[in-house]
Structure 1
Amino acid sequence: MNQSSLTTILHSLNFDRQFLFSPFPKTLSDRLEFIVRKYSLLLNHHYLGRPVRLGDSKVRINGRFFYYESTLGIAPYQTMLVNFENRYLPYLQNLHKPLVIDIGAHIGFFSLTAAKLCKPSRIFACEPLRLTFSLLKKNCTGEKAIIPIHLGFWNKPTRHKMFYTESFLAYSSLFPERFTWNNHPMTQTVKVTTLDAFAKRNHIDRIDLLKIDAEGAEEQILKGASQTLTKTIYLLIECSFDQLGGSTMSSLVKHLHGKEKNFQLIEIGDIRRTPQRELATIDFFFKNLRFKGARQKQYPLPASIG
């Protein structure tokens, strides 16, 4: 076993240890069942090489089915549950029936996590790619708070070409240069709009949590969200370091400050690196210090960051 494989296994076992003490699933037996299913899928697909059948590959856990789209199976869902509880929930648990917008909802693991841990009033789970959206709808079946929306976001309402590969839908992007390992990704024209237009159309006057993970399009989305950001309390956003569309961390952050908004970084989430150990993406969690909505009950901040 090489060093990389050993590190991956130890990392997975650490998540298992934390997951055993999570508030969801509710019982220890349910959490143990989840872990067993996770390793069963990893063994079948990731190590034995059995193919994933998009749209059909699913696993039954705790009495319901979860669809997955990669050889990692449901491991990303476990990662989401653990990270959300440890890093973001301490800030969000003081919100009463929060409204959440999930841009780049993919197949729904983040929305499912927020639905279980935050008890929201509504979650708008937005995903533009047809194949990914079909899996999102299946995974969110029965979740009354989650509203799947077949839509992408940009700096203006239009139709845009999207690039993707069926072997890993999580990398779907509006930028072809994201596919450094594939010179001929598949394409699909998708409908995109601005967050300002979406909020106006749906009569949204307050967003408790806005999550943006759009594979390089994050800054373009912020350009179309100048009004909506003033009504947003918390922002969880992925920052890409491959400078897609000329975007940098500095140029992205400048959209978070203005007369009616001032987002302060309060937490750093996942840090991902390239095989050459260069920074690839970082998840940043911000709070809008100038939000003028209803007063929130105050809780002490977590003792540590990271």
Structure 2
Amino acid sequence: MKPQNIAYVSYAALRNIARATGLMGPARRLMGPAVGKLLYRMSPGGPGPAQINGHKMILASPGSYPPMDMAMARYEPPTTRLFEDILKPGMAVIDVGAHVGYYTLLAAKQVGPTGNVFSFEPNQDNHALLLKNVELNGYDNVVVNNLAVSDRIGASELYLTALDSGRHSMFHHGLPERGVATVNTTTLDAFLESQGWPHIDLIKIDVEGAEQTVLRGMTRLLESSGNLKLIIELNPGMLNSAEVDPLQFLELLTSLGLSVRIIDAARGSVPLAPGDGPSLVDGLIAKETSINLFCEQR
């Protein structure tokens, strides 16, 4: 086994132990940045351009590091497969919280030259790499926006984490921080109006606790669409930091006319049964982790 694979297997095993024993939070705060940077240097994806799921990508700016599963080319396999299954040539996709472009590039490939991808990333460093990665792969069907998506147009604070570069948040979240930046905000309704209301097929939302504000800013889109699909992160810890009750967040999705399915590594897309919300949320909180949900308009 290659040294980087040994390192990743060891890291994944220790991560699982930390989650199972409730030590994930303290371990992240004490060792997260140092361990992350070390593993990134050893990974196939670091620190220069790497082949990630068929795309050439620069994953992090100097002094930073990406989500380790991404650096090891093992990033969210079930969500990746679902993305590939849903998207067809000519479709239009919105990527909210695009980071450095993993899902943006995947969407650009799947929808082809007749489709469109609208990407939003507020962090300056991630935005620069997002632009670079789109350019490296020769896509001209992507519109990149250096904006945070919210429920209002204006400006907001973005709290910059010292952990991996995918964890910056509009809210304090109890993770090691290295500063704060002021970013411009928009709503999906306002943006789409400025674009002449193009038809949208799929929206991916991963914004570290700000998911509810994104939903509040897209009410007109939901009202005018009939078959919109969403892939949205459920991270109870981050939602709590944003003073959003995770169970009420699940209820909000249902109240917006969306069916809710869990994207499961072993079983694929599984319906969230009535009454299963509390046990799902409690399990995620106990392990200090998150999952992705697949939602469709009913």
Flag whether TM exceeds 0.5 (same fold): yes
The answer for the alignment partner of 1:35 in structure 2 is: none
Is 2:116–2:141's contact at 8 Å kept on the other side of the alignment? Answer: yes
Map 1:100-249 onto structure 2 (within 5 A). Answer: 100-119=93-112, 121-141=115-135, 142-165=138-161, 167-176=163-172, 178=173, 180-182=174-176, 184-230=177-223, 231=225, 233-242=228-237, 243-249=240-246
1:5 maps to which residue?
10
> SS of the counterpart of 1:174?
coil
- Post-superposition shift, 1:47? 7.5
Task: State how far apart, in whole Å, the 1-side matches of 2:55 and 2:294 are.
Answer: 31
Q: Residue 25 of structure 1 corresponds to which residue in structure 2?
A: none
Quote the offset at 1:212 in angstroms. Answer: 0.6
Deviations, residues 16-61 of structure 1 (Å, cap 9, x unaligned): xxxxxxxxxxxxxxxxxxxxxxxxxx999418779x99xxx42254
User: Using the alignment, how far apart are the partners of 1:44 and 1:185 within structure 2?
Assistant: 15
In structure 2, relative to structure 1, the CA distance for the partners of 1:76 and 1:226 (3 Å cut) is farther
The 3 A distance-change label for structure 1 pair 227 and 64 is closer
Say if 2:58 is the partner of 1:67: yes
Output the CA distance in 2 between the equivalents of 1:284 and 1:265.
7
CA distance, structure 2, for counterparts of residue 280 and residue 181 of structure 1: 13
Q: CA deviation at 1:64?
A: 7.3
**In 1, Cα distance between the equivalents of 2:282 and 2:193?**
37
- Between Structure 1 and Structure 2, which shows a larger proportion of helix residues? 2
TM-score by length of 2: 0.69
Structure with bigger RCO (C-alpha 8 Å, 6+ apart): 2
The offset of 1:240, in angstroms, is 1.7
Q: CA offsets per residue over residues 135-174 of structure 1, 9 Å max, x none?
A: 1100111211221111111121120011113552111001
Change beyond 3 A, Cα 1:112–1:272: farther
**TM-score when scaled to structure 1?**
0.68
Q: Which runs of 5+ in 1 are unaligned?
A: 12-41, 290-306
1:220 match: secondary structure: helix
Q: How far does the alpha carbon of each residue in 1:56-97 deviate from its partner, in whole angstroms, 9 at most, with x for none? A: x4225499742112266783583347334533433x15x451
Q: 1:203-251, CA deviations, whole angstroms, 9 ceiling, x for partnerless residues?
A: 2242100111000000111111111123261000001212122212332
Distance 1:206 1:241 in 2: 31
Mapped contact 2:98–2:119 kept (Cα < 8 A): yes
Q: Does 1:278 align with 2:287?
A: yes
1:293 maps to none
Contact kept? 2:203, 2:231, Cα under 8 Å: yes
Structure 1 SS opposite 2:213: helix
Return the alpha-carbon distance in structure 2 between the equivalents of residues 275 and 237 of structure 1.
15
Q: How many angstroms apart in 1 are the aligned matches of 2:152 and 2:90?
A: 30
- Sequence identity of aligned pairs in percent? 22
Say if 1:114 and 1:274 are closer, same or farther in 2 by CA, change over 3 A.
same
Distance between the aligned counterparts of 1:254 and 1:273, measured in 2? 16
Provide the C-alpha distance between the structure 1 equivalents of 2:76 and 2:285, rounded to a whole number of angstroms: 28
Cα 1:201–1:255 change in 2 (3 A) is farther
Task: Report the secondary structure of 2:98's partner residue.
Answer: coil
Question: What is the Cα-based RMSD across aligned positions, in Å?
Answer: 3.8
Q: Is the 8 A contact 2:93 2:200 kept in 1?
A: yes
Aligned-partner SS, 2:294: strand
1:78 matched residue in structure 2: 73
User: Cα distance 1:143–1:269, how it changes in 2: closer, same or farther (>3 A)?
Assistant: farther
Contact (CA 8 Å) 2:78, 2:263: kept in 1 or not?
no
